[in-house]
Amino acid sequence: MAKILQIETATAVCSVALSVDGKTVSAKEESGQNLHASKLTLFIDEVLKSAGVNYNELDAIAVSKGPGSYTGLRIGVSTAKGLCYALDKPLIAIETLKMMAAGFHLENPEYTGLICSMIDARRMEVYTSVFDSNLNVLLPTEAKIIDETSFADLLATQQITFLGDGAAKCAAVLTHGNASFNAANFNAANYMSALAETAFQQKNFEDVAYFEPFYLKDFVVTQSKKQQVQP
């Protein structure tokens, strides 16, 4: 049975889980700004101790690869890669938006509509992808500015449930009768378990030396608007 440590840091949620044979056996998460650097390694220790599993007993490390927060993804991936190097274990990368859809499907197994995962980018922009109830991709991952015409073709014929921290800000403009919104948190490492197990069985591993997060957009550094004092 594969023991996989799972790390999710793509949003403001810092989340760690341990799965055994595709089932979550221990998990820890907390939401807040700038948590990842201070909490992630502590959560990893707590999750493993809670499950009675030593680091050397792990079979792989899985990490949410993005898109999402540049800083959060960088911390999660660098931590995962460091563990892989230290323990000589394979690295599994899980698509963040698909993980969210998988979490919704796990909690709502009877749902037959479409699932639209959304991660907040800025203003009315989100990172998004649309899946059917079998987690097949209908609209691939993109950075999308949402307005009242977004997803109109799909909404005309099918129900879509929008979820993730980017969905709430879109509710005011996506007012079609087939649009619904789920406020639960699906950016959680425990929703990675089945996907990580499948990747492990298929030996779908990343090159630890060269793997980078899927940022989708370049990181932009903004200058402070405060007037600088000349010496």
pLDDT in tens, 197-229: 999 999 999 999 999 999 987 544 444 444 444
| Residue 151 tokens, joined | 């997803």
Give, in words, the CATH class of 3-95+187-201.
alpha beta
* CA separation for the pair 53, 71 (Å, rounded): 29
| Residue 161 tokens, joined | 């449930």
Whether the CB-CB separation of 181 and 167 falls below 8 Å is answered with yes
> How much is the average pLDDT of 50-64?
98
| Residue 31 tokens, joined | 């939401």
> Residue 159's closest CA among 127, 201, 130?
130
Same fold yes or no, 3-95+187-201 and 97-182: yes
Domain locations in the chain? 3-95+187-201, 97-182
* CA separation for the pair 146, 171 (Å, rounded): 10
pLDDT at 18: 98
Coil, strand or helix at 78: helix
Cα–Cα distances (Å) from 91 to 60, 77, 139, 217, in that order, read 6, 10, 27, 23
pTM (2 decimals)? 0.91
Diameter of the chain measured on Cα atoms: 66
- Sequence letter at residue 151: F
Residue 34 has pLDDT above 90, yes or no: no
Instruction: Lay out the sheet containing 114-122: strands in order across.
Output: 137-145, 125-131, 114-122, 160-163, 179-182
| Residue 46 tokens, joined | 């707590």
Q: What percent of the chain has pLDDT over 70?
A: 94
> Residue 94's closest CA among 1, 212, 199, 19?
199
Whether the CB-CB separation of 92 and 34 falls below 8 Å is answered with no
DSSP secondary structure code for residue 9 in this structure = -
Write down the architecture of domain 97-182 according to CATH. Answer: 2-Layer Sandwich (3.30)
pLDDT at 218: 56
Residue 35 banded pLDDT, cuts 50, 70, 90: confident
